[in-house]
Amino acid sequence: MNILLVDDEQLELEQLEYLLKPFFNFKSVYKAKDASRALDIVDKVAIQLAFVDIQLPGKSGLELAKQFKNDYQIKVIMVTAFQSFEYAHQALRMGVEDYITKPLIESELIEVIQPYLQQANLSDMVNQTLETIHNRFDERLTLGEIADDIHVNNAYLSRKFNEELNTNFASYLNNYRIEMAKRMLKESPRMNISQVSETCGFNSQHYFSSLFKKQTGLTPREFRLKDVQI
């Protein structure tokens, strides 16, 4: 697996490489300090995964990530010093796999990359289903719709999803939405509970709050207040 790290700060590049190597047996790690150098690398090397800082000299990290996704089909994880979810949400809407904030924390980095690593051992149809969930979690999604999009039988896709992930489509989708909601509650204090619920794809705030409490033991409001107090 070829990995590309893009950041204009040398120390940040070295820290990210240091944190990644003990956990993942990457074939090669390439580093670039700007978009121009990064594009030179991807033109010569088949990169599978890129960590891209949002703030880059010249072309921004968001612009570079969009080009990686559209022109090279590279999976992208954004790295940002911005604590506001609005920046991260913009990146997620572009189709990047995930994001992580600076300063980098090892446990958070591992959590962010785990779903990607898991996908390496999954079938193409399940990978495509996960990518759709991650890119469109804020929409009304059904497994039948995804099955039609990737031209497979709905029942067969459902069975493969259950077998490979040990959970069903609805549970995975709701769990992912709750994880996104937790981030919004922490990082976007100006968003009220109703806005968080809607942005994460829930049609009912009551259902969202009930599911959130079932999974975390706290209501969304309690979760936000606890994080502020910490």
pLDDT digits (tens, 9 = 90+) for 15-51: 998 888 766 555 578 999 999 999 999 999 888 889 9
- Report the percent of the chain where pLDDT is more than 90: 52
Task: Report the alpha-carbon angle 214-219-221, nearest 5.
Answer: 160
User: Is-contact 41 18, C-beta < 8 A?
Assistant: no
Which of 119, 149, 183 corresponds to the end of one domain?
119
User: Are residue 180 and residue 204 in the same domain, yes or no?
Assistant: yes
Could you identify the residue written with the tokens 């995930």? Answer: 98
CATH assignment of the domain containing 26: 3.40.50.2300
Higher pLDDT, 77 or 97: 77
Average pLDDT over the chain, rounded to whole? 87
Do 59 and 103 reside in the same domain of the chain? yes
Reported as a single tens digit per residue, the pLDDT across 194-210 is 999 999 999 999 999 99
What is the Cα–Cα distance from 115 to 156, expressed in whole angstroms?
22
Q: Give the three-class secondary structure for 50.
A: strand
Residue 93: pLDDT over 80: no
Residues 111, 75 share a domain: yes
How many CB atoms within 10 Å of residue 170? Answer: 11
Tell me what the mean pLDDT of segment 128-152 comes to.
92
For 144-198, how does the pLDDT look when each residue is reduced to its tens digit (9 = 90+)? Answer: 999 999 999 999 999 999 998 889 999 999 999 998 899 889 888 889 999 999 9
Q: Which domain holds residue 142?
A: 124-166
Query: 147 and 129, same structural domain?
Result: yes
pLDDT band at 230 (very low <50, low <70, confident <90, very high): very low
Tally of domains in the chain: 3
Element housing 20 (H / E)? helix 10-20
Closest to 102 in 3D by CA, of 59, 53, 65? 53
Hey, what are 122's tokens? 């999954």
Omega into 115 within 30° of 0, i.e. cis? Answer: no
The reply to whether 90 and 137 lie within a common domain is no
pLDDT of 84 strictly over 60? no
- String of DSSP letters for 151-173: T--HHHHHHHHHHHHSS-HHHHH
Residue 34, pLDDT score:
95
> CATH code at 204?
1.10.10.60
Sheet bearing 2-6, strands edge to edge: 28-32, 2-6, 49-53, 75-80, 98-101
Please give the pLDDT value at position 32. Answer: 96
pTM to 2 decimals?
A: 0.58
User: Which of 65, 63, 58 shows the shortest CA–CA distance to 34?
Assistant: 58
pLDDT over 90 (residue 85): no
At CB < 8 A and 24+ separation, what contacts does 24-32 make? 24/113, 24/117, 26/1, 26/2, 27/1, 27/2, 28/2, 28/3, 29/2, 29/3, 29/4, 29/5, 30/2, 30/3, 30/4, 30/5, 31/4, 31/5, 31/6, 32/4, 32/5, 32/6
